[in-house]
Amino acid sequence: MRVNLQALGCRLNEAELQTWARQLQQQGHLVTAEQEGADLIVVNTCAVTAEAVRKSRKLLRRARRTNPRAKLVISGCAASLEGDAWAREQGVDLLVHNRDKDRLVEIAARELDLGSMPLSAMEPQTNPLFARGRQRAFVKVQDGCRHRCTFCIVTLARGEERSRSVAEVVAEVNRLEAEGVREIVLTGVHLGGFGSDIGQDLKGLIGALLADTDVPRLRMGSLEPWDLPEGFWDLFADPRLMPHLHLPLQSGSDAVLRRMARRCRTEDFARLAGEARQAVPDINLTTDIIVGFPGETDAEWQETLSFVESMGFGHLHVFAYSARQGTKAATLPGQVSREIKRARSREIQELGHHMKSDVLASFVDRRLPVLVEGRSSGSSEDDWFGYTPNYLPVRVRSDSLRPSFNQILEVTLDGLHEDGESLRASL
pLDDT band for position 248 (cuts 50, 70, 90): very high
Confidence band for 42, pLDDT divided at 50, 70 and 90: very high
Confidence of residue 134 (pLDDT cuts 50, 70, 90): low
Q: Phi/psi of residue 121, each to 5°?
A: -95, -5
Per-residue pLDDT at 267 exceeds 60: yes
**Lowest mean per-residue pLDDT among 196-210, 257-271, 318-332, 396-410:** 396-410
Residue 124 confidence (pLDDT) above 70: no
Tens digits of residue pLDDT in 154-199: 877 788 889 999 999 999 999 999 988 999 999 999 999 999 999 9
Q: What is the mean pLDDT of residues 393-419?
A: 84
H/E element holding 286? strand 284-291
pLDDT at 401 over 80: no
Distance CA 269, CA 292 (A): 21
- The predicted pLDDT at position 242 comes to 98
Q: How far is CA 123 from CA 14, 26, 116, 118, 128, in A?
A: 25, 11, 13, 11, 14
Q: Residue 323 class from Cβ within 10 Å (0-12 exposed, 13-18 middle, 19+ buried)?
A: middle
CB 17 within 8 A of CB 44: yes
Distance (Å, whole) CA 260 – CA 243? 29
- Give the C-alpha separation, 271 to 337, whole Å: 33
Which domains can be identified in the chain, with CATH numbers?
2-121 (3.40.50.12160), 135-242 (3.30.750.210), 270-362 (3.30.750.200), 367-426 (2.40.50.140)
Task: With a cut of 50, say whether residue 222 has pLDDT above it.
Answer: yes
Average pLDDT over residues 250-254: 98
Per-chain mean pLDDT for the chain: 89
Q: How confident is residue 351, by pLDDT bands cut at 50, 70 and 90?
A: very high
Do the strands 162-163 and 393-397 form a parallel or antiparallel pair, or are they unpaired? Answer: unpaired
Percent with pLDDT over 90 in the chain: 60
Could you tell me the pLDDT band of residue 127, with boundaries at 50, 70 and 90? low
pLDDT of residue 361 exceeding 50, the answer is yes
Q: What is the pLDDT of residues 292-306, one digit of tens each?
A: 999 999 999 999 999
Amino acid at 334: G
Q: Which residues of 369-381 are buried (b: 16+ CB within 10 A; e: fewer)?
A: ebbbbeebeeeee
pLDDT in tens, 85-113: 776 766 789 999 888 988 999 999 999 98
Average confidence (pLDDT) over 24-42: 89
Whether pTM > 0.85 for this model: the answer is yes
